[in-house]
């Protein structure tokens, strides 16, 4: 029986509050990949980055960590972890089972002799991620986001010498955790707010399950500046979209990125849905698709632009019968910025954010802000500019909140100018009526 799994070790990469990579005493994690799943496990050791061999994935020989533990001891522990986690997975596959990441993690703790309590805070958090992830069919990116929060909490507990338990989650805990995120992780207020939302999601789950009786977390609502939801949204207006759509390009990879991005701009699809779009999703005059992120069944009518892009690639065979040459999200975003430079989207755009009470600004040329999601945002903004009713747009995009449409109306300057021009035209209309009389 062929067992398909992969084990690797890596140091955590995180910046300090000055934006520089932390290189001293960083935690080392085990990453175990199998059957499309990924389990991340803290090895229990830290090391300075200059003592780490990224090719061999071990501590360089002859070195010691801050606790005086030798490379030999640490590397032997890594070997034992690798052997143990592979054995756990192999045993389950031998009885024709694919274990959950939670099972592997908990079994690894037991076999490595780690002290744990079955009802501990972190055990419950692990269960929460597994259960909610399966129930809501989370994507790999969503799992990563929640496990990142899990790892941050463990790091917070270690660094701040604060033992997290359901009974001591109160205002003092939250204040320390927010300060840790701001000062140690260099997080913006918007990121801190998202992490607190995830934490409260977990606490609500634990309360419903009967694991938690302490309800103090419900009253914690910090005054974090800059999280009102009125942040600037970067979009391409109609003229910019047409310029990009008709742009002559010499590099084939940029041409394909342009076509896929414009397809997002003309359909409102997310990148994940364009990536998975198959020829079977294309009907005579529309797209029928169930979205990856929200599981919404959508029908999106084709227009002359989206249809032309599909027809351009109709005779080309792609893997899994896909419609378009969609590359990985990471590469796509890198090439998209290069494409923005080719299109000369150089006008400066300023975004505002807060770290604590400090207001900060970033000003960059527009091309630097381009990402896959700008396509979907541009579709909504330009649809509103074309006076398409919000109710129709929401049926195409799957949005369920009218407040989202209001956000796009605020940023569509041409739409606002057209409305303001009504003041300029009012006397003309009155004089016309007088002359007709």
Encode pLDDT of 159-196 as tens digits: 877 788 899 999 999 999 999 999 999 999 989 999 99
* Least confident segment among 10-24, 189-203, 249-263, 398-412: 398-412
pLDDT in tens, 125-154: 988 888 888 777 777 778 888 999 998 998
Higher pLDDT, 347 or 411: 347
Report the chain's mean pLDDT, rounded to a whole number: 87
Q: For tokens 């993690």, what's the residue?
A: 105
Flag whether pLDDT at 67 surpasses 90.
no
| pLDDT category of residue 403 using cuts at 50, 70 and 90 | confident
Cα–Cα distance between 278 and 324 in angstroms, integer?
8
**Cα 9 to Cα 58: distance, rounded to the nearest angstrom:** 7
Q: Tokens 């269960």 sit at which residue?
A: 127
Nearest Cα to Cα of residue 233 among 402, 383, 411, 415: 411
DSSP result, 36-85: TEEEEEEEEEEE-GGGEETTTTEEPTT-B-TT--BHHHHHHHHHHHHHHH
**Per-residue pLDDT band at 97 (split at 50, 70, 90):** confident
Q: And the tokens for 189?
A: 């207020």
**Tens digits of residue pLDDT in 223-280:** 888 776 567 789 999 999 999 999 999 999 999 999 999 999 999 999 999 999 999 9
pLDDT for 113: 77
E strands present in 203-347? 286-290, 297-301
pLDDT of residue 117 exceeding 50, the answer is no
* pLDDT for res 74: 94
Residue with tokens 């690894």: 108
Whether the per-residue pLDDT at 427 is higher than 80: the answer is no
Q: Is 230 helix (H, G, I), strand (E, B) or coil?
A: coil
- Whether residue 279 contacts residue 288, with contact meaning beta carbons closer than 8 Å, is answered with no
Which pLDDT band holds residue 119 (cuts at 50, 70, 90)?
Answer: very low
Dihedral, CA of residue 3, residue 150, residue 56 and residue 1, to nearest 10: 0
| Among 73-77, 90-94, 233-237, 399-403, the least confident range | 399-403
CA 336/CA 261 separation, integer angstroms: 8
Paired residues of 352 in beta bridges: 361
Calpha distance 121→124 (Å, rounded): 5
Residue 351 has pLDDT above 90, yes or no: no
**Cα–Cα distance for residue pair 58/51, rounded to 1 Å:** 9
When pLDDT is averaged across residues 17-26 and rounded to a whole number, the result is 86
What confidence score (pLDDT) does residue 118 get? 38
Phi/psi at 366 (nearest 5 deg)? Answer: -60, -35
What are the angstrom distances between the C-alpha of 402 and each of 217, 368, 399? 30, 29, 8
Instruction: Give dist(CA 289, CA 422) in Å, integer.
Output: 40
Percent of the chain with pLDDT over 90: 55
Output the pLDDT for position 144. 86
- Using pLDDT thresholds of 50, 70 and 90, give the confidence band for residue 419: low
pLDDT at res. 2: 60
Q: pLDDT tier at 316 (50, 70, 90 boundaries)? A: very high
Query: Of residues 432 and 193, which shows the higher confidence score?
Result: 193
Domains detected in the chain: 1-116 (no CATH), 119-224 (1.10.150.130), 238-419 (1.10.443.10)
DSSP code of 278?
B
Q: Binning pLDDT at 50, 70 and 90, where does residue 414 land?
A: low
Structure tokens at 36: 């499309």
- Give CA torsion, residues 141, 39, 58, 183, to 10 deg: 50
d(CA 225, CA 178) in angstroms, rounded, equals 13
SS3 4: coil
Cβ(282)–Cβ(270) under 8 Å?
no
DSSP string, 85-145: HHHHHHHHHHTT----HHHHHHHHHHHTT----TT-HHHHHHHHHHHHHHHTT--HHHHHH
């Amino acid at each position: 029986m062929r067992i398909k799994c992969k084990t690797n070790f890596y140091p955590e990469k995180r910046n300090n509050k000055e934006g520089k990579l932390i290189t001293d005493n960083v935690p080392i994690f085990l990453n175990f990949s199998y059957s499309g799943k990924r389990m991340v496990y803290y090895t229990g050791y830290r090391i300075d980055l200059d003592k780490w061999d990224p090719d061999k994935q071990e501590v360089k020989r002859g070195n010691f960590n801050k606790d005086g533990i030798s490379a030999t001891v640490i590397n032997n522990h890594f070997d034992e972890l690798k052997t143990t986690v592979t054995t756990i997975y192999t045993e389950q596959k031998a009885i024709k089972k694919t274990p959950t990441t939670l099972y592997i993690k908990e079994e690894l703790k037991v076999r490595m002799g780690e002290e744990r309590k079955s009802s501990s805070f972190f055990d419950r958090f692990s269960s929460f991620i597994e259960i909610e992830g399966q129930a809501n069919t989370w994507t790999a990116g969503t799992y990563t986001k929640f496990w990142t929060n899990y790892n941050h909490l463990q790091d917070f507990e270690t660094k701040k010498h604060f033992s997290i338990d359901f009974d001591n989650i109160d205002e003092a805990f939250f204040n320390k955790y927010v300060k840790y995120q701001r000062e140690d992780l260099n997080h913006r207020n918007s990121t801190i707010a998202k992490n607190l939302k995830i934490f409260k999601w977990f606490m609500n789950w634990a309360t419903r399950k009967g694991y938690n009786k302490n309800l103090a977390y419900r009253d914690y609502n910090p005054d974090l500046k800059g999280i009102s939801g009125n942040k600037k949204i970067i979009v391409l207006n109609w003229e910019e979209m047409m310029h990009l759509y008709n742009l002559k390009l010499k590099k084939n990879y940029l041409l394909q990125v342009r076509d896929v991005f414009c397809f997002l701009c003309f359909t409102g699809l997310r990148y994940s849905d364009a990536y998975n779009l198959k020829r079977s999703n294309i009907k005579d005059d529309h797209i029928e698709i169930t979205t990856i992120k929200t599981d919404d069944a959508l029908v999106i009518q084709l227009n002359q632009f989206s249809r032309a892009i599909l027809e351009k690639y109709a005779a080309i065979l792609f893997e899994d019968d896909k419609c378009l040459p969609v590359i990985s999200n990471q590469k796509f975003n890198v090439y998209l910025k290069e494409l923005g430079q080719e299109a000369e989207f150089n006008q400066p755009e300023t975004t505002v954010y807060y770290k604590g009470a400090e207001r900060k600004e970033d000003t960059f040329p527009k091309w630097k802000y381009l990402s896959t999601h700008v396509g979907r945002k541009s579709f909504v903004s330009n649809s509103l500019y074309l006076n398409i009713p919000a109710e129709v747009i929401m049926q195409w995009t799957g949005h369920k909140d009218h407040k989202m449409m209001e956000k796009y109306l605020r940023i569509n300057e041409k739409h606002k100018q057209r409305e303001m021009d009504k003041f300029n035209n009012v006397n003309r209309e009155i004089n016309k009526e007088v002359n007709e009389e």
